[in-house]
Amino acid sequence: MSETAPILSAPVPSAPVLSVRGLTRTYDTAGGGLTVLRGVDLDVRPGEVVGLIGPSGSGKSSLLHAAGLLEHPTSGEVRIDGHEMGHLPDNARTRVRLGAIGFVYQFHHLLPEFDARDNVALPLRIAGVGREAARARAEELLTKLGLADRLTHQPAQLSGGERQRVAVARALANRPRLLLADEPTGNLDPATSQTVFEALHDLVKSTGVAALIATHNMELAGHMDRVFALKDGHLEERPAESHAY
Ligand SMILES: Nc1ncnc2c1ncn2[C@@H]1O[C@H](COP(=O)(O)OP(=O)(O)OP(=O)(O)O)[C@@H](O)[C@H]1O
């Protein structure tokens, strides 16, 4: 597969990048069914940074996992670029996930034996991009993230904030349509969180990727385009400047 191979057929005109409708998620537990999502609707459009807040255990990760095609919801629809994902066979869902969706987690999950550039190039190499082209793309992204002088540093030689910026670059390497981030700054001090968020935010705006970011950081949530709180399994949009739980 080349870097430009289409992952999905053409986007449905004017469809959001991510569209979730009537999403429910019930886990089987020893104590019986545990329902954490009770009918979630959400759209995220190109270039939008949408925040997801809510107390621990409210279902933020569950929503991201369903939106990112890592898990099937119990019911409801997940559409990417207007295409319903629920009926796709697993190999097609995996292909969409690898090509159209980028993930950033609280912990960077970088490979310790690879330097920053090769960590970012890895998803491109997996997608079949040649070594030099993959490295060039990695350098371009790392430079945009202010890491031009850290290309050959291994993760252990980077600060926490630098590692998270490398993780952001890796998530965007394949030019995904959708970026999903689960507490991307949850492990960082407030000043570093701000730096990482600003870098991520600028890249979202300049690339037009659609971003959904789960966070406990209300300061950062205040800088997002829209913010939704998960409460009792439902999403409630929070008006600007009042992103409180
Ligand atoms: N595989 C699973 N099996 C059973 N219960 C689960 C499973 N995954 C999550 N849960 C439960 O579902 C609820 C929601 O979990 P989830 O991780 O989505 O919340 P969260 O809002 O992301 O929390 P946090 O902010 O702490 O990361 C929690 O009560 C959790 O224990």
Summarised one tens digit per residue, pLDDT across range 127-182 is 899 999 999 999 999 999 999 999 999 999 999 999 999 999 999 999 999 999 99
Name the band, by pLDDT with cuts 50, 70 and 90, for residue 7: low
Q: Please report the pLDDT score of residue 245 as a whole number.
A: 43
Would the pLDDT of 242 be above 80? no
Q: Please report the pLDDT score of residue 244 as a whole number.
A: 46
Q: Please report the pLDDT score of residue 70 as a whole number.
A: 95
What does the alpha-carbon distance between residue 190 and residue 196 come to, in Å, rounded to a whole number?
10
pTM, to two decimals: 0.93
Tokens found for residue 80:
């990417």
Would the pLDDT of 13 be above 90? no
* Helix pair angle (116-126, 131-144), 10° resolution: 130
Name the band, by pLDDT with cuts 50, 70 and 90, for residue 240: low
Parse the chain into domains and list their residue ranges.
Answer: 48-72+89-224
Q: Please report the pLDDT score of residue 241 as a whole number.
A: 62
For residue 239, the 8-state DSSP code is P
Would the pLDDT of 3 be above 90? no
219 vs 242 pLDDT, higher one: 219
Q: What mean pLDDT is predicted for residues 186-210?
A: 91
- Which numbered atom of ligand 1 lies nearest the CA of 29? 4
Q: Sign (positive/negative) of CA torsion 103, 107, 111, 115?
A: positive
Say what the ipTM of the complex is.
0.97
* Residues composing the chain: 245
Q: What is the pLDDT of residues 30-73, one digit of tens each?
A: 999 999 999 999 999 999 999 999 999 999 999 999 999 999 99
Helix segments in the chain, DSSP class H: 60-67, 90-100, 116-126, 131-144, 160-172, 190-207, 218-221
Mean pLDDT of the residues in the chain: 92
What is the architecture of the domain spanning 48-72+89-224? 3-Layer(aba) Sandwich (3.40)
Tokens found for residue 222:
């205040």
Distance 132 CA to ligand 1 centre (A): 41
Q: Please report the pLDDT score of residue 6 as a whole number.
A: 47
Nearest residue by C-alpha to atom 26 in ligand 1 = 56
Percent of the chain with pLDDT over 90: 83
- Ligand 1 site, CB within 6 A: 27, 29, 34, 36, 54, 56-62
Nearest residue by C-alpha to atom 1 in ligand 1 = 27
Collapse the DSSP code of 53 into the 3-class scheme (helix H, G, I; strand E, B; otherwise coil) and give the result. strand
Using left for φ > 0, alpha for ψ between -120 and 50, and beta otherwise, residue 233 falls in left
Distance 152 CA to ligand 1 centre (A): 37
